[in-house]
Amino acid sequence: MTEITKIDGVDFHPDWSRMPDHARHVFLCTGPRCTQRGALQLWKTLRRRLLEHEHIEVPGGVLLTRTHCQFPCNLGPVLTVYPERCWYGVRNKADVLRLVDVHLVGGDVVQDLLIKDLP
């Protein structure tokens, strides 16, 4: 078992020196306006659903990252998926569950959740 040590007072673990395996990188905004719209609870739903599918930080899976403001705040909470460059507005638990099942696990873009006005 690998031990967590301290280097210069900061926790250090050898696995933290590499990027976890993943196929998609998902960013969920937890800036002030998205948080007021429930982003932190949606984050928990997103993470739990990916764990249920065993689809987090594995080959072919997802790497999750919380961000601060991504804009457009009025359409949030905002969730982006790369490499597809899909920007989603996720308003509730049902949106997040469908996005995980259809896009992140199934591979199909969820058209009705897309934020359309991207350059």
For the segment 52-72, what is each residue's pLDDT rounded down to a tens digit?
A: 999 999 999 999 999 999 989
7 assigned to some structural domain: no
Q: Per the structure, how many domains does the chain have?
A: 1
70 assigned to some structural domain: yes
61 assigned to some structural domain: yes
Region 23-40: mean pLDDT is 97
2 assigned to some structural domain: no
What is the domain range of residue 64? 29-113
Distance CA 31, CA 28 (A): 9
CATH of the domain at 93: 3.40.30.10
Q: Name the residue among 79, 87, 77, 95 with its Cα closest to residue 38.
A: 77
Distance CA 19, CA 63 (A): 9
Task: Report whether 112 contacts 102 (CB < 8 A).
Answer: no
pTM: 0.86
Region 43-55: mean pLDDT is 98
